[in-house]
Amino acid sequence: MDSRTVALIRTTFKAVAAEEGGSEKLASSFYATLFTDYPRVRDFFPAAMDSQRDRLVKAISYTLDRLEEPNKLLPFLAQLGRDHRKYGVEPEHYVAVATSLKTAMRRFADTEMWTDEVDRAWDDGLAIISETMIGAADREETPAIWSGTVVECRSVLRNLVVVRLRLDQPMSYAAGQYLSVQVPSRPRMWRYLSPAVPANADGDIEFHIRGVLGGWVSPAIVGQTRIGEQWLLGSPLGGLGVPRNTKRKMLMVGCGTGIAPLRAQIMSMAQRRINPKVHLFVGGHYPCDLYDLEMLSQLAVANTWLTVTPVVENDENPWWHVDSREPAREVPGMEPRRTGQIGKIVAGFGPWTDHDVQIVGSPSMVQTTKFRLMAAGTETKNIRHDPLF
């Protein structure tokens, strides 16, 4: 796509989204058009389409923001297309989505702004997005959906469970990737989770799930998961991972369940002969949030290339934490625990110019840590994280 086409799409999109409540209005107009003009498409979507459920529109705006970086965007779209097979999406649905989005855009854009050239630019942009997703889905030979049986559900904190499943057939995801999951108590509500172990021939997989206050799916997983129930899993997504034979040192920063994809990568690296040096910072609000220290300690003791520094915001456990023992400050194989805001602490060790960086955690933690690292001299191109939607 030429740079003028990209510029036209981005300018019109930003002009609409920048208005007060612009993206919400765009999302609701898009869905209203889509469901009115193509009623059969409604069945793909969850019953409750509240304001938080504009994931599709957020994803499209994330995509439009990256039109100028085709070498990053096209693999991302290909993964999405393979994953969208889980919805049973067919090429004609892409036409429905593209047409509805353009109609919604035209409705909110200034009439003067929406010229024939802009209209054609949108057609071109949406066609590239759709063709990339459809093409990748067509070429894919792996299953559209994997199913797995829950074999263990362990509560490790009052709002955090570790769930292990045995898949009906093994999935070859790369350590560090994430995938979307649907649990039986929340039909059609797919959510992304990151496997906490590398792929294996037995099809064993593990997820760490924190119940988000007011969330639809995560509290149901924490409170209602039963041994023997069947979960559905979509295709693997994401580009975190440590390439074999890389000489670049790695900085990994993970908070809460963000440790899952990092630990999967470290476990996978532990099976290799040669590894670059890795410094992992694992963070939580309280010492009790560092629920996986035992495993990380074993990995740090066994692998000399790995340094682990735990970080907490508060030195004491909260009153509601049932274990009244003093939290251990020193853990075998690990650096002493630090107290403070994780981004600030990590940046303080910096500037990390000779490291590739991965940040995993809540969107605000990822943004703040990235900002701190950039302010301390780390180049943006060396920082990776998953999309924040």
The residues that touch ligand HEM, with contacts defined as CB under 6 A, are: 41, 44-46, 53, 55-56, 59-60, 63, 80, 83-84, 87, 89, 93-94, 97, 129-130, 133, 180, 190
95 vs 58, 136, 138, 347, 382, CA distance in Å?
A: 18, 16, 16, 46, 36
Could you give the angle at the alpha carbon of 326 between the alpha carbons of 324 and 332, nearest 5°?
130
The closest alpha carbon to 333, from 381, 270, 387, belongs to 270
State which residue, 129 or 383, has the beta carbon closest to ligand HEM. Answer: 129
CA distance 51 to 38: 21
Which partner, ligand FAD, ligand HEM, none, binds residue 59 by CB below 5 to 8 Å per kind? ligand HEM
Query: Do residues 86 and 232 make contact, with C-beta atoms less than 8 angstroms apart?
Result: yes
Token pair in block for residue 9 = 């799409």
Task: Tell me the sheet residues that pair with 192.
Answer: 180
Kindly tell me which residue out of 111, 116, 141, 214 binds ligand FAD, with binding defined by CB under 6 A.
Answer: 214
Which partner, ligand HEM, ligand FAD, none, binds residue 317 by CB below 5 to 8 Å per kind? none
209 in contact with ligand FAD (CB under 6 A): yes
Question: Which residues have CB under 8 Å from 370's CB, separation 6+?
Answer: 343, 359, 380, 383, 385
Kindly tell me which residue out of 79, 130, 182, 218 binds ligand FAD, with binding defined by CB under 6 A.
Answer: 218
Which partner, ligand HEM, ligand FAD, none, binds residue 349 by CB below 5 to 8 Å per kind? none
Q: Which residue has the tokens 């393979």?
A: 82
Which partner, ligand HEM, ligand FAD, none, binds residue 305 by CB below 5 to 8 Å per kind? none
Residue nearest ligand FAD (C-beta atom):
215
- DSSP secondary structure string, 167-212? ESS---PPTT-BEEEE-TTSTT--EEE--SS---TT-EEEEEEEPP
Three-state DSSP class for residue 289 = helix
257 in contact with ligand FAD (CB under 6 A): yes
Which partner, ligand HEM, ligand FAD, none, binds residue 150 by CB below 5 to 8 Å per kind? none
Which partner, ligand HEM, ligand FAD, none, binds residue 180 by CB below 5 to 8 Å per kind? ligand HEM
φ/ψ of 22, rounded to 5, equals -55, -50
Q: Which of residues 33-72 bind ligand FAD (CB under 6 A)?
A: 52
355 in contact with ligand FAD (CB under 6 A): no
Q: Provide, rounded to whole angstroms, the least separation between the CB of residue 252 and ligand FAD.
A: 15
Contact residues for ligand FAD (CB under 6 A)?
A: 52, 178, 191-194, 207-210, 212, 214-218, 257, 260, 362, 386
